A and B are shown apart, each in its own frame.
Chain A
Amino acid sequence: MQLSTELLPTVVRDDAPGWQGLARQSFDARCERVAADVRRVATSLDEISALIAGAIVSMGATP
């Protein structure tokens, strides 16, 4: 029932089924997970950059 209520209007409106309703929500949630992974990597790179900078500074300060 859910499927048929999604299919007909989406075909009539030229929107793909699977690109609407529950399928779309699931797709968006998975896209958000990918974005979260990439954001986490960006944060990690900032962290790594800070750690390396700190290491270089401390190496310079070491007698």
Chain B
Amino acid sequence: MTADGDELVVSGGGSFAVSTDEMSNTAFRLRFVESESLAAAVRLRELELCFDPHVAAQAPAALALVLQAADDLDRASREASQLELSLRLAAEAYGMVENAMIDGIRVTTGLLGNVLGHLAPFLLLAGAPFLAAGSGVLVGLAARPGASRSPVDAAAWMRDNPQLANNPAVAAAVRLLFSSSDDIIAGLLGVPPGAGAAIGDDGLGLFGIREAAGLVLGAAGAAGAARGLAGGGAADGGTAGGGRSPLVETPVHTTRVGTSPVTAPSSIAQLASRMPNTSASGPQIKVEKYETDNGDPSYIVYLGGTVDMNAVPAGEAFDMTSNVESMSAGDGASYRAAVEAMRDAGIRPGDPVLEVGYSQGGLLAVQLEQSGDYSVQGVVTLGSPVGQLETTAPTLTIAHTEDLVPALGGLDTASGDDRVLVRRTLYDDAPMPTGDAFPSHDLDAYRETAGLVDASKDQRVEKFIDGAAPFLSGDAKGTATEYRAERVGR
């Protein structure tokens, strides 16, 4: 029995089944009991055949006991098999109940989102006096003696009080909200609820999270153009944004910053441990190259998380602008940097590649797989908003239920036999650490979860790890090259 914080919940893999670690471990033990009992029964019956007649004459009860033991073992084997089946049925039932609940909530929030979109202009008009009054109250509260007055104070408060931003219920609400973004947009455009469903995520997919992100980018681009026309762009020249407009892309320059010898990883935990740390001046991308005895290369590409959360792009390539661009399936600076790094590392179209990404890096890993430009054999994402992004290659997505970042990808609807989702709740029983606004998104927390994934007995997880075995030899010698990507120009 594991502590709740160590418990994984696995779903996907082409089945409805949602199973906890405890269920997977129990199923593993039952399969063991089934096969071992059966084998032992066979051996006991064989023993009966070679029983020495002299010994049998001296101990007549022994033979009867042997046959009785073999029968008991047969029964234990059958019962273990039935129990394992009922465990699988329970996991399937769980998945079906969960899917039914999610579908129900999704339809309801979709309708609400559409109605909200229809009413938004009127609500804004009618609510203007209340908004003004509310703003006045907030300003008054902020101005009271001792109250926080700057974003720095707010960030400090978030670090000291991370409970709200790391709450599973909040993350679930964010998932629903982002999944309903298409309905809200459809409502704003005056599309009736039924038609909204037909063209949204659940229908033709003309409006989804990607399209919503694209609209944000379009609006930002228009605002940037208007600002440029008005001469606003030059007004803040020399600031962190260097005169750039919010969420508007720039060229990127990728530099090789280091090369070192490396031994191939042997586990998911080791993959996670090699992920570049999120740092303002460090490398964001790492490419490991290994060669077979025949000289055939294979690569593991590590893609780090968002470094700069500001909407106005500064020098950092792994920033919010790249995030939103990638969410809309565009070529953000971080994506172009990854492509550049892979080209520099010598990756050719047919070379086997394993993509590993944390946070924004997971989004990039999926994008690279979707591009079809590389022979991606597997994708591992840690805390990434990729729940609705389909992949063809075997994909293992790891997400903490309290983490808001994967929730930004909406409900996990991507499916397929080779798509495995592992969830973990960090703070069910354990106290939440303070001093970090988003401890559930912490890379070290994901590294710890990756270790639990390695220990999982779930057959879908084991299948993914077996499939990634060519990259996880643990002894192949290779070279690791690190890259730093910076935005350039305007």
Contact = CB atoms under 8 A, between A and B. Distances in A.
A45 interface: yes
Nearest to B101: A11
Contact of B55 (A15, A19, A41, A59): A59
Nearest to A10: B94
A44 to B, nearest CB: 4
B116 interface: no
Interface in A3-46: 7, 10-11, 13-19, 23, 27, 30-31, 33-34, 37-38, 40-41, 44-45
A10 B9 CA distance: 12
Contacts of A13: 428
B186 interface: no
Nearest to A8: B101
Q: State the main secondary structure of chain A at its contact with B.
A: helix
A9 to B, nearest CB: 12
B83 A14 contact: no
Interface string B101-132: 10000000000000000000000000000000
A56 B87 contact: no
Given A33-B79, A34-B79, A18 B62 contact: no
Interface in B362-401: 401
Contacts of A34: 33, 76, 79-80, 83
Contacts of A40: 69, 72
Interface in B36-95: 37, 40, 54-55, 58-59, 61-62, 65-66, 68-69, 72-73, 75-76, 79-80, 82-83, 86-87, 89-91, 93-94
Nearest to B56: A55
Contacts of A14: 7, 9, 18, 20, 401, 423, 425
B62 A51 contact: yes
A23 B86 CA distance: 10
A51 B40 CA distance: 20
A47 B68 CA distance: 12
B76 A11 contact: no
Contacts of A33: 79
A7 B95 CA distance: 11
Interface in B344-365: none
A19 B90 contact: yes
A16 B23 contact: yes
Given A17-B93, A30-B79, A37-B72, A11 B62 contact: no
Contact of A38 (B18, B76, B87, B425): B76
Contact of A56 (B55, B73, B76, B425): B55
B97 interface: yes
B19 interface: yes
B59 A38 contact: no
B466 interface: no
Interface residues of A, number: 31
Given A15-B20, A37-B72, A23 B90 contact: yes
A9 B7 CA distance: 17
A16 B72 contact: no
Contacts of A59: 54-55, 58
A10 B90 CA distance: 12
A37 B73 contact: yes
A47 to B, nearest CB: 6
B62 A48 contact: yes
Contact of B76 (A37, A44, A51): A37
A2 interface: no
A52 to B, nearest CB: 6
B61 A51 contact: yes
A16 B91 contact: yes
Contacts of A51: 59, 61-62, 65
Given A16-B93, A17-B94, A18-B89, A44 B69 contact: yes
Given A27-B83, A27-B86, A55 B23 contact: no
B301 to A, nearest CB: 31
Given A19-B94, A37-B73, A58 B58 contact: yes
Nearest to B40: A41
Interface in B424-448: 425, 428
Contacts of B82: 30
Contacts of B428: 13
B37 A45 contact: no
B67 to A, nearest CB: 10
Given A54-B58, A59-B58, 8 more contacts: A13-B428, A19-B23, A27-B87, A31-B83, A37-B79, A38-B37, A38-B73, A55-B59
The 5 residue pairs across chains A and B that have the minimum distance between CB atoms = A18-B90, A55-B58, A16-B94, A55-B59, A37-B76
Interface of A: 7, 10-11, 13-19, 23, 27, 30-31, 33-34, 37-38, 40-41, 44-45, 47-48, 51-52, 54-56, 58-59
19 contacts: A10-B94, A11-B94, A13-B428, A14-B18, A14-B423, A15-B20, A16-B90, A16-B93, A17-B94, A19-B90, A19-B94, A34-B33, A37-B76, A41-B69, A41-B73, A44-B69, A51-B65, A52-B59, A59-B58
